[in-house]
Amino acid sequence: MPQILSSSPPDAQDADAFFDGVDLRRLAERLPTPFHAYSAHAIRQRIDGLQQALHGLDATLCYAVKANSTLAILHLMAEAGVGADIVSSGELWRSLHAGIPAERIVFSGVGKTEQEIAEALAAGILRFNVESADELHTLQRLASDLHIAARAAVRINPDVDAQTHAKISTGKAENKFGVSIAEARRWFAEAGRLTHVRLDGLHVHIGSQILSVEPFRLALQRVAAFWRELEANGHAIASIDVGGGLGVCYRAGQDHPVAPADYAAAIREALAGFRGRILLEPGRYLVAEAGVLLTRVIRIKQGERQNFLVLDAAMNDLLRPSLYDAWHDIVPLVDGQRERTRYDVVGPVCETGDTFARDRELPELRPGDLVMIRGTGAYGASMASTYNSRPLAAEVLLDQRRHAIVRHRQRFEDMVAGEQPARDWDMA
C-alpha cells in the first residue's frame, strides 16, 4: 500500500493524477485497467454540503442507489446516516446488507412486482412511492395479507419539463412515471377504503442531470399547491419527497449547474409552512464527480478521416456517452510535454456507438499510456454490462491517501457461473 502514496503533495502539473491523495499512476501499475476509482472524501463532502444547505429543515437524504450500488459506497452512505431510494429487490437487498436501516428506505418505480412489494413490506421500509392505481391496490392487498400497515406516497407527475436529456426526463405528462394531480386527488378522496395503506405522502421526481433551479421550483410549486389543497380538505400529509435530479459538472472549469443553497432555497420557499418530513433522493450529485475510470491506450489507429484512440475501457464500462451522447472529460496521465492532436476516443466493443468522444483534442498518446475519464462515479459501474463478454471492471475506494479494492475485476469463471449447456432437457 505505501507504494501508491505520494511522498510530497502533488504539484500543479501532476495534480490531475492525484485523487484523494492517491497517485492514480502508481495505483494503475498494480491494478489492471480498466478500473473505477472513487473518492470517499468527495462523497462525504457532497453529503455534508447538501445537509448544510438543508439546515433547519426536517430533511432526510435517501440516496438513489441506482447511481452507484457498490456495497462500499452504500456502506459509506449508511455510516453518514443517509437512507436509500430503491427501485428493485436487488437494491433493497444491497441497501440492507450495507447497513442502511429499513426505516430510511423509500421504494420508487412503475414496475414493482408483487414479490418486490411483499419483500419491502416484510423489511418494514419507510415508504412506497406509488406510481399507479394498480400498484396502490396491489399494495393494499399484499399489506392486508401480511397484516401490515404500509406507508405510501403518491408520485405526482407534475407535467414539468426538466429541460434535460429526453431519455432521463421523468416529469412530463407523456412519461411513464407518477400520476396526474387529478388522479392523485381521487386516490385521497377514496383513501378511507385503504385499510392497510396509510396514504399520507407526496413524491415528485422530474428527471436527472437538471441544470437550473427553475424546473425544480415549478414542480415543487405544483406539489405544494396540492399539499395545501389536501390539508384544507382534512388529509394530513406527513412527508413530501422532492426526488433527486441535481445536475453535476461534467466539464472542468465550468460552474456547478445548481448550487445546493439555491436548490434548498427553492424547497424552503415552495414548502414554507410544511410541518412534516422532507425526503430527498439525490443520486448523481453525491457520487458522479467522486469517481473516475482509469483506462490505458491499446493502440492508435490511423483512419481514413480521423485518428482513433483505442482504449481498454468500453461502452460496457461506461455507457453514458453511447446512450446520451454525454460528455466526460478525458485526461491523459502522462509525463512531459507532448504535441496536441485530435482523436475519436473509442473502446474495443464491436459497435460504432462504443465511442467516448469525437474529435477530442488531447496530447499525442502511445500504447500503454494511462488515461482518466472523469465524472464516472454515477451511472458508470451501476450501468456496466458484460457485453462482448468483457468482465466487469474492478472498483477501488480511496479515502485520504488510502485505498481499498472494493470489488475485484470479475473473473471469467464467474461470468459463466450459473450457466450451463442445455444437456438435460426436461419435457414441458
Ligand X SMILES: N[C@@H](CCCC[NH3+])C(=O)O
Binding region for substrate: 284, 320, 324, 351, 379
Give the one residue of 215, 244, 321, 375 binding ligand PLP; rule: CB under 6 A: 244
Which stretch in 119-127, 239-247, 310-318, 357-365 sits in contact with ligand PLP by CB under 6 A?
239-247
The option from ligand PLP, ligand X, none interacting with 320 (CB < 5 to 8 A, set by class) reads ligand X
Nearer to ligand X, 176 or 411 (CB): 176
Nearest Cα to Cα of residue 101 among 126, 121, 122, 76: 126
Give the one residue of 95, 209, 322, 376 binding ligand X; rule: CB under 6 A: 209
Residue 43, C-beta contacts closer than 8 angstroms, at least 6 positions apart: 73, 76, 286, 287, 290, 377
The option from ligand PLP, ligand X, none interacting with 146 (CB < 5 to 8 A, set by class) reads none
Residues belonging to the chain: 428
Nearer to ligand PLP, 17 or 246 (CB): 246
What residues from 162 to 191 belong to the interface with ligand PLP (CB under 6 A)?
A: 170
Nearest Cα to Cα of residue 311 among 359, 339, 344: 344
Nearer to ligand X, 38 or 274 (CB): 38
Give the residue ranges of the annotated binding site. Answer: 245, 281-284, 320, 324, 351, 379
Residue 21, C-beta contacts closer than 8 angstroms, at least 6 positions apart: 5, 6, 398, 400, 401
First to last CA, the chain: 56
Structural element, H or E, at residue 298: strand 291-302
Give the one residue of 36, 320, 390, 403 binding ligand X; rule: CB under 6 A: 320
What residues from 105 to 124 belong to the interface with ligand PLP (CB under 6 A)?
A: 108
- Is 62 an active-site residue? no
| Nearest-angstrom CA–CA distance, 387 and 317 | 9
What residues from 139 to 198 belong to the interface with ligand X (CB under 6 A)?
A: 168
CB of 215 to ligand PLP, least distance (A): 12
Catalytic residue among 12, 182, 232, 350: 350
CB of 384 to ligand X, least distance (A): 12
Q: Are strands 291-302 and 370-374 parallel, antiparallel or unpaired?
A: antiparallel
Which stretch in 32-40, 135-143, 231-239, 243-251 sits in contact with ligand PLP by CB under 6 A?
243-251
The option from ligand X, ligand PLP, none interacting with 376 (CB < 5 to 8 A, set by class) reads none
Q: Please say whether the beta carbons of 104 and 92 come within 8 A.
A: no
Q: Please say whether the beta carbons of 357 and 313 come within 8 A.
A: no
Residue 196 grid cell:
392497510
The option from ligand PLP, ligand X, none interacting with 238 (CB < 5 to 8 A, set by class) reads none
Give the one residue of 21, 34, 283, 380 binding ligand PLP; rule: CB under 6 A: 283
Give the one residue of 205, 222, 320, 328 binding ligand PLP; rule: CB under 6 A: 205
| Nearest-angstrom CA–CA distance, 372 and 332 | 6
Nearer to ligand X, 165 or 407 (CB): 165
Residue ranges with strand state E in 66-149: 83-86, 105-107, 127-130
Radius of gyration over every alpha carbon of the chain, rounded to an integer in angstroms: 23
* Three-state secondary-structure class, residue 112: coil
Name 23's bridge partners. 18
208 binds ligand X (CB under 6 A): yes
| x-marked contacts with ligand X along 352-381 as a string, rule CB under 6 A | ---------------------------x--
Helices (H) and strands (E) in the chain, counts: 12, 19
Phi-psi map region of 368: left, alpha, beta (phi>0 left; psi -120 to 50 alpha): left
Residues in touch with ligand X (CB under 6 A): 66, 168, 208-209, 320, 324, 379, 383
Residues in touch with ligand PLP (CB under 6 A): 64, 67, 85, 108, 170, 205, 208, 243-246, 281-285
Tell me the catalytic residues.
350
